[in-house]
Amino acid sequence: MGSFNWVCLIFILQFLCPVSIFSDSFLSSNGLSEIPTKFLNFAKNQVVYDWMVGIRRKIHENPELCYEEFETSELIRAELDKMGIAYKHPVAVTGVVGFIGTGRPPFVAVRADMDALAIQEMVEWEHKSKRPGKMHACGHDAHVTMLLGAAKILKEHEEELKGTVVLVFQPAEEGGGGAGKILEAGILENVSAIFGLHVAHNLPVGVVASRPGSLLAGSGFFEAVISGKGGHAAIPQHSVDPILAASNVIVSLQHLVSREADPLDSQVVTVAKFQGGGAFNVIPDSVTIGGTFRAFSKETLMQLRQRIEQVITGQAAVQRCNATVNFHEKDKPYYPPTINDEDLHEHFQKVAGDMLGMHKVNNMQPLMGSEDFSFYQEVIPGYFFMLGMENKTLGPFDSVHSPYFRVNEEALPYGAALHASLAARYLLKFQQEAPLIEEKYHDEL
């Protein structure tokens, strides 16, 4: 399905999936509240659960880095084909975008990221990564699986959908800005809302957490080469020491937050890379440092970028060195802050509360981590939440980006059912707006 005629897609979907006529009982508040429980029971069915576990383990064994997710993409398409779900591929190199429902407005999207990390897995188990130096250390294998699980749920209940659910299987979240590439493809232009999730190692299974407004920080990366003049360590006066210059740069960079930032405007500047020298008694010609900077507003992020460059070049010059700074915008684009829509927060609380109980729907503090889901939120009302997977009987779970990171597969049905419920309930809740959306968008996605 590399190329697909959109008019044909709408025509086919409308004939295969006619708009259902809902009974008053189904559209009542009681009917709406029953959807999450019904979907969760479906996802917990042993056959469905085993199917999801098998998919997750297959993806985990074969991790692929950003924009290299060809086998993962092929697996997704094969499963969608089995379910009879139409899709568009390729989108953003390896991405897949599927469609379930009437093919008519309103359109609501649900997103999962696909890529792995360049980390050597240290967890010893039967389905350990088969690719040296690559690992699903952030749970994206589970995210893909849960969205496929949601697809199965929604396809099974397709006659209950008043509109169209758009399934976004996105590449390159880990620094590649795949969400931006999905948007550039124009395939989400008429989507009214989008939802996403991330597994959380420190929340119990069956518990979710999020908040309205700022949830995750925006982020950028920097790398600098500080050049001096190498020489013998015993006669430093004949050299220009780039290690000393780099040390002063690192200390000065910390002052950007401690002395220039508003204490109420959370920011982070971290130098996590320092490379230079290879002998105890030789001053090197140059040193390379690198790191990340984060903030909860785009304006603050750009201010940090400007000051980072000024501090590095200025402090290097004080030590008689030269410095070049690279922010790698092309291969590591800036991520905007992740900001949850206020109305969708209310929607999330109602749906998750009906499924799990309100005592398991937590408000959380903002985190300085970043997510490229934020690209969607810049143009579409969006909502992102954390899904618990901790089970203390299984021992402690390491945090994401650790070589010891594990996924508790007990969380898979919850993620699948939440995805499906958030989308289905959104379509039902806003069905009264559908005529206006149809007129505006001429029945096309």
What residues are designated binding site for Mn(2+)? 138, 140, 174, 198, 401
Q: How far is CA 425 from CA 28, 36, 59, 169, 289, in A?
A: 12, 9, 29, 21, 49
Supply φ then ψ for residue 131, to 5 degrees: -115, 110
**Residue 109, Cα to own-chain centre: how many angstroms?**
14
Nearest to 197 by CA among 144, 151, 157, 156: 144
Q: How far is CA 360 from CA 75, 207, 344, 349, 408, in A?
A: 33, 5, 18, 10, 18
| DSSP-H helix ranges across 17-139 | 24-27, 29-44, 46-61, 70-83
Nearest to 156 by CA among 443, 440, 417, 393: 417
CA separation for the pair 225, 90 (Å, rounded): 38
Count the Cβ atoms, other than its own, within 10 Å of residue 258.
Answer: 10
DSSP 8-state code for residue 68:
-
Residues making up the binding site: 138, 140, 174, 198, 401
H or E element: which one contains 253? helix 242-255
Give residue for tokens 């005592």.
359
